[in-house]
Structure 1
Amino acid sequence: MSSMVFFKGMGLGASLIMAIGSQNAHVLRMGLLCQHVGVTVLVCIVCDMLLISAGVAGMGALIEQSPLLLELARWGGAVFLFWYGLRAWRAVLANDSLAVAAGSVRIPLRQALTTVLALTLLNPHVYLDTVVLLGSIGGQQPVDSRLWFALGAGCASLLWFLSLGYGARLLAPLFARPLSWRVLDGVVGAVMWSLAGALVMS
């Protein structure tokens, strides 16, 4: 029984975490740059596990009952995603994107840490996926199985972010060309703006 619940949590967690989004795009970028990959991956994993645990413990149901919290998360997340998308589009057009592609610009650790924290904690999709959705499904499991569900979902996050962050190096030959970085920044910008638009229209 516990193993079935564990793999159920892992499957649901993987289906949500692996979707294209701001967090995944940032982890991929840091992995390609080979800068602060460990910190970036660790923050994503720890935040996911904490949010999943909080949701399974009952916070997901509490947030669903608060229209004010949902509205604040929606508009705050839309503004942040629009701003991050704007940064990505500026990188496509700016000459300094070539310097970043060449690896000559080193991102400070504090900036890398604050960026991944912002992308994780200011994105309402993270809360909807982990706290609300996974939390509500996990909360429906028998009391003695909820821990296994949370562990399964957390394990999916662990495996995914480790693979994405450190596996990005396999794409390094492709991104040795500045044009590839411009394409990546363009895709990131489009994803951020589409997510922001979806939040506003929801």
Structure 2
Amino acid sequence: MDLPALLAGLGLGLSLIVAIGAQNAFVLRQGLRGKHVGAVVALCTASDVVLVAAGVGGVGGLVQQAPWALVAVRVAGAFFLLGYAGHALARALRSADEALLPSRAPERGTLAGALGTAAALTWLNPHVYLDTVVLLGSLSGTHGDGRWWFGAGAALASALWFTALGHGARFLRPLFARPGAWRVLDGLIAVVMVVLALSLVVGLGR
């Protein structure tokens, strides 16, 4: 085991993933609602493992040679994030009734729907490719034969973070026992989604 490479990957992975973003906001909300948490955490973690492996395996270099692919993903991601922002805003403006209280009448949502949203927020996010595949993949090369241990550390960071975020959210449920708290959360999620979508569009001109 190359412990220095493993720890370096763990540190970089955490620094890249511990930030407010579309994926984290969704995992947090599912954790607060207590809906399909394990499945969503597993999907997000598995997706990151695949992306990390692709980056360490050299796909990042290929992506840099095909900028049109990132442009396409940016456009698709921006539209999806704006749509998700619209749904979050609609929830935030909904009248205060028992439908907003997850402990009484949980928001309708199937397992397939939750996984589909989590997958879209992961795979339609260009920042995932830039950070995980390109940046992390490039830095893994500096560890030579230990690059796969570096990748393992980054994958471990994702597993630890999503598990803590999804399952740890239950400790905040008392705070979200009131509809007003859910309104604030959904309002913040809508703002974050719009900002991320605009950043994707602005990035097209760079």
TM-score (norm. length: structure 1): 0.95
Match of 1:199 in 2: 200
The aligned amino acid for 1:148 is W
Post-superposition offset of 1:59: 0.4
Q: Distance in 1 between matches of 2:179 and 2:96?
A: 11
Gaps in structure 2 of 5+ consecutive residues: none
**Matched-pair contact (CA < 8 Å) for 2:96–2:180:** no
Q: Distance in 2 between matches of 1:35 and 1:129?
A: 28
Match of 2:183 in 1: 182
Post-superposition offset of 1:98: 5.1
The aligned amino acid for 1:150 is G
Post-superposition offset of 1:128: 1.4
Gaps in structure 1 of 5+ consecutive residues: none
Q: Distance in 1 between matches of 2:97 and 2:54?
A: 39
Report Cα offsets for 1:165-189 as digits up to 9, x if no partner.
0000000100001100000001100
How many residue pairs are counted as aligned between the two chains? 201
Match of 1:162 in 2: 163
Q: Distance in 2 between matches of 1:57 and 1:193?
A: 33
User: Does residue 80 of the first structure (1) align with residue 99 of the second (2)?
Assistant: no
Sequence identity of aligned pairs in percent?
51
**Matched-pair contact (CA < 8 Å) for 1:73–1:124:** yes
In the TM superposition, 1:36-55 aligns within 5 A as 36-55=36-55
The aligned amino acid for 1:198 is S
TM-score (norm. length: structure 2): 0.93
Q: Distance in 1 between matches of 2:78 and 2:116?
A: 18
Q: 1:23 to 1:119 in 2, by over 3 A?
A: same
Q: 1:97 to 1:45 in 2, by over 3 A?
A: farther
Q: 1:163 to 1:79 in 2, by over 3 A?
A: same
Q: Could you say what secondary structure the match of 1:185 adopts?
A: helix
User: Does residue 122 of the first structure (1) align with residue 100 of the second (2)?
Assistant: no
Match of 2:91 in 1: 91
Please identify, of 174-183 and 98-107, the stretch whose mean Cα deviation from structure 2 is larger. Answer: 98-107
Q: Distance in 2 between matches of 1:97 and 1:198?
A: 35
Aligned-residue CA RMSD (Å): 1.4
Post-superposition offset of 1:102: 3.4
